[in-house]
Structure formats: C-alpha cells, structure tokens
Structure 1
Amino acid sequence: MTAYDPISEEILLDWFVAFDPPEGFRAELVEGELVLTPPPDGEHEEYLWLIVKQVMKASRTDMQFSGNKGLKLERGGACPEDHVIPDSTFAPTALRLYRGAAPWMPCEGVSMVLEVTFLRPQLDRETKRRCYARGGIPLYLLVDREASSITLFSAPERDDYREVCTRPLGKPLPLPAPFDIDLDTADFL
C-alpha cells in the first residue's frame, strides 16, 4: 500500500476535474486511479435495461434512475473523494435528487447503485464495492457477466458490505425495501 501523499493526490484531483474524456468515454477517479471506460457493448446495455424496466414497473416506491450522474464518495482521512459513475443509480422520486444536481453529486438519498461488469470486472467486484460501502449506499447490485451471476450487497459498514446474496443468472433475486420486488433474471440467459 502506498503512503498517502497529499500533494500528489491534490494534483491528481485537479487534473481529473479538468480532464475532458473522448466522446462517449467515462472518466472516473477511483481510489487514486484514473479509470477511462469506452462505451459499453449491447449486452451490457440490455442487462441495464432489463433491470431498470423491472424496478420502474414493480418497485413499491416510485423510483428515479440515472445512468450518467457521478457520485462523490468520501475516502476518509485527508484523502480526496472518489468520483465514480455507476451504470445506474436509483433514488426515490420524492427526494428529487437529480434535479439541479451537478455532474458529481453526493450519495445521500441514493437507494441503490447498479454495475454490470465490462472490461475490468475486478473494478466492479472489489474497488467500486468498497467505494459504495464507504459512501453508505444501502444497496449495490452487481451483474457479473463472466460469472453468470447477480449479487446484491447490502448493510454497508466502513469499506465493505456485511450482507451478500448471489444468485445464478436465470434465478430471481429479492430486492428489499424500498423496492420490495423479486428481480427476474430469466431473460438474462
């Protein structure tokens, strides 16, 4: 583990904020690493759509979602915050979190983030999971294409989630409140 260098971290954060990624690419600052991701493939987008459609249709709480709002997530200590863009973010419509929100918004009020593995699956499986837990996001839903599974992480505490529920794609996955639905993954196969 590298020692914290506040000058280098500040330079990296300044550079990141000023960085203009190529069209269609997403730039994130995750645990001190600049992550540049190209546009996703069609399968990635289909998984997102299948989940968003079910949540919007069946959730007990009226939800808003965003596929392009970045989150500022505290890292603790003197470290600058992470800047992470989930594949999808869900929040109760009544909170109106997205209205007027800058490209990087705080995570307070976000009910769930969703990631679908793409080019760097370990980033979604481990690094982003730690970021979302530190940010106190109650639910993290991960579709792991390589493992053919879907995992719900819940009960965040410090750098991780205390509860993990994994199902193979094709089997339903229960989403707790505020959603209160069984997510059907049969169409994922």
Structure 2
Amino acid sequence: MTTFEDALRTVEEMDTPDGYKAELIRAKIVVSPWPEPRAFLPMKSLREQLEQRAPQGHTTSAFPVLFSFRAAERAYGPNLYVVDEAVFDSDSRHADAAALSLVAEFTSVSTRDVDWEEKLQVYGQVVPVYLVVDVQGGEIACFSDPSPQGYRAHKTVSFGTPLPVPAPFDCEIDTTVFKTA
C-alpha cells in the first residue's frame, strides 16, 4: 500500500510536460494543464492587487510550488498564492500549506469540479482566504474564515463587480479585467 509520503515523493519527482502540473488529489496523482493564456491578464491583475495588501513577510506568486496538506493527505500546486516567505528557506521539494495566507485557483474545464469541491474542502480547513476565479461561470468567489468543517464565510460576484477580500488583506479586488478571461 502506498503511503501519503510515498505518493508525495513521486509527485515531487515527476517530470511533467511543459504547461502541466502534478498534484495529489484524493490519493491519486493528477496531471492537469496550467491555466489557459486568456487567464494571464486576470491572473496578473489579481497578483498585482494582492501584492499591495499582502501581510508583512508574505509574497505573492504563481511560481510552481507544491503545498502539502498532511492532515488531508493532499498536495496542491495553486495557480496563484500568497505565502510567508520563510517557507522558501527549506531544502524540501514541497512547502507546508500552513504558511499560505491566500490561494487563488483559475478554473478550467478539466479542473472546475476539483477547484469548487475538493480544494474548497481542503483549503477551507487551513488557508485564511481562497479565491475561485470561475472562468467558465464568469464569476469570482471569496471564501474565508477557515474551520475544521470548512469555510464559514463566502461572497461571490460576477466579473466586473468589485470583490471584498477580508483580513489579512482587507481590500477590494477590481475584477473588470476578468471579463476578458
């Protein structure tokens, strides 16, 4: 029987094709594409807006990093994230998800269900803020206030409508450019 540690090591050592990432989802290794090029401008806009409001010592990035959620036996490579910079002082090939202050996933046809269900449940126990940019649905959702049962608060707006993001960011995201996605 394969353990979580064995599966995590396999994901870390995979040589995925350019434009793809490997994650550990529901005890399975899943290879999926990075967001389509049309998500570039919305992702850039979101990153720039979050960089201005990131907590002290945290950085905003889309650099491919695998974050381990040991309690849930999952490992994800978010599309965009805000994380404590200290997490990069490690020799490990994956990072501890507890260092995340925000995760943003941009849905695609192949990842939409995982972003809205699987990741929502797992992130909802650890990550303070989770943004789902639903490219197919034309909306963005903000989930916050994690608990062992999942997020206790959320708000969804259509692209073009400002989205309030709570602490530790306390800002409003301009989603106008998201209409192009």
Structure 2 Cα separation of the partners of residues 69 and 155 of structure 1: 24
Residue 123 (structure 2) aligns with: 132
- Alignment counterpart, residue 55 of structure 2, candidates 47, 53, 61: 61
Residue 116 (structure 1) aligns with: 106
Pairing of 1:42-121 with structure 2 (within 5 A): 42-57=37-52, 59=53, 61-62=55-56, 63-67=58-62, 68-76=64-72, 81-92=73-84, 96-100=86-90, 102-118=92-108, 119-121=110-112
1:70 and 1:104 in contact (8 A); partners too? yes
Query: Cα RMSD (Å) of the superposition?
Result: 2.2
Structure 1 Cα separation of the partners of residues 160 and 65 of structure 2: 29
* 1:116-168 deviation digits (Å, cap 9, x = unpaired): 1013200111111112123x111101100111111011122225212111111
Unaligned runs of 5+ in 2: none
% same residue: 26
Unaligned runs of 5+ in 1: 1-6
Question: Which secondary structure does the structure 1 equivalent of 2:30 belong to?
Answer: strand
Structure 2 Cα separation of the partners of residues 111 and 60 of structure 1: 8
Q: TM-score, normalised by structure 1?
A: 0.81
Question: Which secondary structure does the structure 1 equivalent of 2:44 belong to?
Answer: helix
Cα 1:39–1:113, aligned 2, differ >3 Å: closer, same or farther? closer
- Alignment counterpart, residue 156 of structure 2, candidates 156, 166, 170: 166
Q: Which amino acid letter does the alignment assign opposite residue 32 of structure 1? A: A
1:125 and 1:142 in contact (8 A); partners too? yes
Deviation at 1:66, TM superposition (A): 2.4
Cα 1:48–1:102, aligned 2, differ >3 Å: closer, same or farther? farther
Structure 2 Cα separation of the partners of residues 66 and 99 of structure 1: 16
Deviation at 1:14, TM superposition (A): 5.5
- Alignment counterpart, residue 142 of structure 1, candidates 112, 132, 142: 132
Larger radius of gyration: 1
Q: TM-score, normalised by structure 2?
A: 0.85
